[in-house]
Amino acid sequence: MIELQNLNKLFNQTHAVDDVSLLVNSGEFCMLIGSSGCGKSTTLRMINRLIEPTSGSISINGEDVKSVPVEDLRRKIGYAIQGVGLFPHQDIFENIATVPKLLKWSKTEIEQRVEELLTLFHLDYETFAHKFPHQLSGGQQQRVGVARALAARPELLLMDEPFGALDAITRNYLQDEMLRIQKQLNITIIMVTHDIEEAVKLGDKIAVMDKGKLLQVASPIELMRNPRDGFVRELVGGDDRALNLLSLVKVEDVMTPIADIGKKPQSQHLSDKDNLRDALSRLLWVGESSLPVINSEGKIIGNVALVDILAKGKKQK
Amino acid sequence: MSQLSESASNLSSKISFDKVDILASLLLFFSLLGLPILTYQPNRLTSGTGRYLFDVFPGSIGVLILAVFLFFFFLIVRRLSVALTIGIIVVAMVGLFYLVGEGANYVLPKDAGFARVALGSGFWVACLALWLTFANNILKLRASPLFHVVVFIAMSCLFGLLIYVGLWDALSLMKEYKNELAFWSHARRHLFLSIASLVPAIIVGIPTGIWCSRSKIIKAAVFPVLNILQTIPSIAMFGILMIPLTYIATNYPGLGELGIRGIGAAPAIVALFFYSLLPIVSNTTVGLDKLDATIVEAARGMGMNSRQRLFKIELPLAAPVILSGIRIVLVQNIGIVAVAGLIGGGGFGTYIFKGLNQTATELVMLGAIPTLYLALFAAILMDSIIGFSKRKIDD
Ligand SMILES: Nc1ncnc2c1ncn2[C@@H]1O[C@H](COP(=O)(O)OP(=O)(O)OP(=O)(O)O)[C@@H](O)[C@H]1O
Ligand SMILES: [Mg+2]
């Protein structure tokens, strides 16, 4: 559990972070969102004390971050940075091994851990361990960056716009990876983003910031349904709002189950784990008003009609 | 259409020539034809008269030699494989060395007396031309940085051997060499002075550079001083240093006995130390200041303390820039040490100033050529080290 209490940061005249209080529970994926310059990075960097707050306090599991030596604190917190920041003169193995080496793990422990992490991120050990960062694609570098942050099994991972510089397909893929890994490792993640879609997709909890102030903290659905007036409404209330809402709901939640399960699907179908946004898109594309739904074994388990989806995207009062 | 452009590019690759090779070959040819390859001096101190290729080797032999070099010229420009071209250039170099060494015997009268034969401008220009095309072709191999050092040493051994077996014994340069029994001790002295000042400059300069990159105030205080030091001419610097050093030597005889004196090695080393500081300090500072901020931030965020960051991340990444500072200093020192000959510091400068006093050009050469050679070797060696330090950082 991470608790920020009345956090303030002044850079000369700029009030970069203005009285921010936020509680993130263990195992939660918390997204920190806001426009450029609103103080997201500053807030994040105060957690691992790269920046010292002007006033206020931060505690992790009830323990003030100031009560441990700063280097020890940082070695316990994973940090994946905006722009990766891999060490160009070290190979992937050495990069990932950075914190374990600082913590004086044994050689075999480190080797095992690096292999484990590369496997976790679907990077082949033989191929990648002894390559240098410039030999990797942007997406691969970013995965190594996250793997490096996770090397010493931190319980808390801070990520500052880790996928900002990637193309849409790679970003999407890495977002799915993050969801999987967060579930698998059961860690707490605080991630900075300025992309509402990313926030909705990844976050258990979204904290919206503007001009240094924390405006609203809520679950994605809550934020979509009841955004505060002003900046938050603007943020979620674009033309995409209904679509964002749909992307939070799975097909299996709205489908009408059918009796004779097990029939083989025809050419066009949806999958039970698809979200409604994708389902809508598919329906429109193939020009059908309803499509069968299959499960992971490829068997038809129900039907979804256009009207069911449209009902979910409507404003609810 | 594509076939057409392909055959056009084939054609152009067939008739395209390497500009450097052509220029060098032309230079080689005309220097042999139009400049004296040797000079004849009735005695050691008079200025000589030029001897052209056809003066030295009259008639058909001269024509034959010219024809052989024309053939070399043709082969070099033909762009055979790079390795073959390099081989031909080396053969041409050996030929040129042999030519002047053998030619000196022809020019020298039998009862030579005081008469001397020195290398002429034609030889030097031809040498330069061959070196140019040699370096040009070596670079085309795109070999590892270490390879350049190996090539340089191999070439040194080859031509050193030619001279050692007596190929140039008839030349004035070698006669001066044989007179100067202290040549190799001066060589060691020159090397010692160049490096003795470099080591303390590195020990002081790099930490100062680190300090300057950490604090603007220190930087503002240190750089003007180093800049002023750098602009003092070397002779003036030796003069300035003589005063305190002489004072120390006369008041503390013990120190004087250790070599701390107004003339000799002490002022040379101190002066070179001062000259070495600016390039090392400024390159260290710039190298550290220019580091990618996200990399340093990542290191900090992962819990490296400032010492770990410095040694594991910052210095290794700034190494190429710091090493180029050291390269500047080393090459510069080898040059300035020659000036130290004037104040009795020893080294090759001794011959340069002795030669200037006696107006004995070949004695000047005996000092200048090894100095130039050392500087060139230092530059190639350092470039190789710098190349090595860069290899991992970028492609
Ligand atoms: N070291 C610093 N010195 C002075 N001002 C700073 C410093 N770091 C940040 N600021 C200012 O604080 C404010 C918040 O910066 P911060 O980096 O937290 O923004 P951000 O929300 O992360 O923006 P972005 O999305 O562009 O990364 C900005 O106005 C910025 O100019
Ligand atoms: Mg930021």
A194 Cβ inside 6 Å of ligand 1: yes
The helix, strand and coil proportions of chain A, stated in percent and rounded to the nearest 5, come to 40, 25, 35
**CB of B362 closer than 8 Å to CB of B118:** yes
- Residues in B closer than 8 angstroms to A70, CB to CB, are 303
Q: Which of the four pLDDT bands, split at 50, 70 and 90, describes residue B16?
A: low
Q: Residue B287 C-alpha to ligand 2 middle, in angstroms? A: 26
Q: How many CA atoms lie within 13 A of A285 on its CB side?
A: 9
- In the predicted model, is pLDDT for residue B76 greater than 80? no
Q: Which residue has the CA at smallest separation from atom 9 of ligand 1?
A: A42
The closest of B140, B126, B21 to B77, measured between CA atoms, is B21
Supply the pLDDT for residue A244: 78
Contact B302 A83 (CB under 8 A): no
Report the length, in residues, of chain A.
317
Question: What is the model's pLDDT at position B115?
Answer: 83
What's the pLDDT score for residue B218? 92
Q: What is the enclosing helix (H) or strand (E) of B244?
A: helix B234-251
Q: How confident is the model at residue B1 (pLDDT cuts 50, 70, 90)?
A: very low
Query: How does residue B6 score in pLDDT terms, banded at 50, 70 and 90?
Result: very low
Q: Which amino acid is at B387?
A: G
Dist CA A96 CA A113 (whole Å)? 9
Q: Is A36 in the pocket of ligand 1 (CB under 6 A)?
A: yes
Expressed in angstroms and rounded, the spacing between residue B92 Cα and the centre of ligand 1 is 65
Instruction: Compare CB distances from A102 to B298, B300, B303 and report the shortest one's residue.
Output: B303
A48: left (phi over 0), alpha (psi -120 to 50) or beta: alpha
Check if A42 has its Cβ closer than 6 Å to any atom of ligand 1. Answer: yes
Show residues of chain A in contact with B303, CB under 8 Å.
70-75, 99, 102
For position A284, what pLDDT does the model report?
84
User: What are the φ and ψ backbone dihedral angles of A2, each rounded to 5 degrees?
Assistant: -115, 130
Cα separation of B119 and B101, whole Å?
9
CA pseudo-torsion sign A271, A272, A277, A279 = positive
Distance A283 CA to ligand 2 centre (A): 38
β-partners of residue B55 are: none
Structure tokens at A109: 């422990």
Distance of CA B384 to the CA centre of its chain: 14
B309, A83 contact by CB (below 8 A): no
Q: Is A33 in the pocket of ligand 1 (CB under 6 A)?
A: no
Q: Which two tokens stand for residue A84?
A: 């990766």
Closest residue (by CA) to atom 31 of ligand 1? A37
List, for chain A, all residue ranges whose pLDDT scores fall below the cut of 70: 238-239, 261-266, 315-317
Q: Which residues of A touch B304 (CB under 8 A)?
A: 71, 98, 102
Cα distance between residue A173 and residue A163, in whole Å: 10
- Residue A13: predicted pLDDT: 86
- pLDDT for B14 equals 52
**What SS3 state is found at A289?**
coil
Q: Where are the domains of chain B?
A: 17-171, 183-394
Tokens standing for residue B149? 């050092």
Give the pLDDT mean for B361-386. Answer: 92
Write down the mean pLDDT value for chain B: 86
DSSP helix/strand/coil, B64: helix
* Ligand that comes closest to the CA of residue A18: 1
pLDDT of res. A265 = 64
The reported pLDDT for the residue numbered B78 is 75
The strand pair at A2-11 and B49-51 is best described as unpaired
Q: How far out from the chain centre does Cα B87 lie?
A: 23
| Alpha carbon of B392: minimum distance to chain A alpha carbons (Å) | 5
Q: Which among B202, B182, B195, B214 has a CA at the least distance from the CA of B314?
A: B214
Which of A72, A81, A132 has its CB closest to that of B392?
A: A132
- Exposed, middle or buried by CB within 10 Å (0-12, 13-18, 19+), for A179? middle
Specify the DSSP class assigned to residue A251: G
Distance from CA of B148 to the nearest CA of A (A): 23
**3 state SS of A8:** strand
Q: Residue B287 — pLDDT band, cuts 50, 70, 90?
A: very high
Nearest C-alpha in B relative to A90: B392
Nearest in space to B85 (alpha carbons), one of B69, B73, B67: B73
Query: What is the C-alpha separation between A20 and B78, in angstroms, rounded?
Result: 75
Protein residue closest via CA to atom 30 of ligand 1: A37
- Say which residues have a Cβ less than 8 Å from residue A251's Cβ, sequence separation at least 6: A270, A271, A272, A273, A274, A275, A276, A279, A293, A304
Residues A217-230: tens digit of each pLDDT:
999 888 888 888 88
A39 pocket-lining for ligand 1 (C-beta < 6 Å): yes
CA distance A291 to A177: 28
Q: How far is B295 from chain A (nearest CA, A)?
A: 4
A173 interfaces chain B, CB cutoff of 8 Å = no
Distance (Å, whole) CA B342 – CA B202: 26
B310 contacts on A by Cβ (under 8 Å): none
Ligand 1 within 6 A of CB of A266: no
Ligand 1 midpoint to CA A136 (Å): 29
Q: Is the pLDDT of residue B57 over 60?
A: yes
Say if residues A99 and A114 touch (Cβ distance below 8 Å).
no
* A73/B303 touch (CB, cutoff 8 Å), yes or no: yes
Q: Region B88-96: what's the mean pLDDT?
A: 90
A298 lines ligand 1 (CB under 6 A): no
Q: How far is CA B227 from CA A93, B122, B221, B223, B323, in A?
A: 43, 41, 11, 6, 20
Collapsed DSSP state (helix, strand, coil) of residue A295: coil
Q: Identify the residue among B290, B295, B302 best suited for mutation to test binding to A, counting A beta carbons within 10 A and taking the highest.
A: B302
pTM (two decimals): 0.81
- A74 close to A38: Cβ distance less than 8 angstroms: no
Please give the Cα distance from B195 to B69 (Å, whole number): 41
Above 50 in pLDDT, residue B5?
A: no
Query: How far is B281 from A229, CA to CA, in rounded Å?
Result: 57
Q: Decide if pLDDT at B375 tops 70.
A: yes
Average pLDDT estimate for B386-390: 87
Predicted pLDDT at A263: 67
According to the model, what pLDDT value does residue A73 have? 95
Which residue in this structure is represented by tokens 């893929």?
Answer: A173
- Among A7, A11, A196, A209, the mutation site with the greatest number of ligand 1 atoms within 8 A of its Cβ is A11
Ligand 1, atom 24: nearest CA belongs to which residue?
A: A36
Q: Which residues of chain B form beta strands (DSSP E)?
A: 38-41, 49-51, 116-119
Task: DSSP for B17-31, please give it.
Answer: --HHHHHHHHHHHHH
B290 contact residues in A (CB cutoff 8 A): none
Neighbours of ion ligand 2 (CB under 5 A): A 41
Tell if the CB–CB gap between A88 and B308 is shorter than 8 Å: no
Distance from CA of B386 to the nearest CA of A (A): 14
Mutational pocket test of ligand 1: of A4, A10, A40, A161, the residue with most ligand atoms within 8 Å of the beta carbon? A40
Question: H or E element: which one contains B176?
Answer: helix B172-179
Q: Establish if A98 touches chain B: CB-CB under 8 angstroms.
A: yes
**Superfamily for domain range B183-394:** MetI-like (1.10.3720.10)
Chain centroid to CA A160: 10
Of the two residues B343 and A13, the one the predictor is more confident about is A13
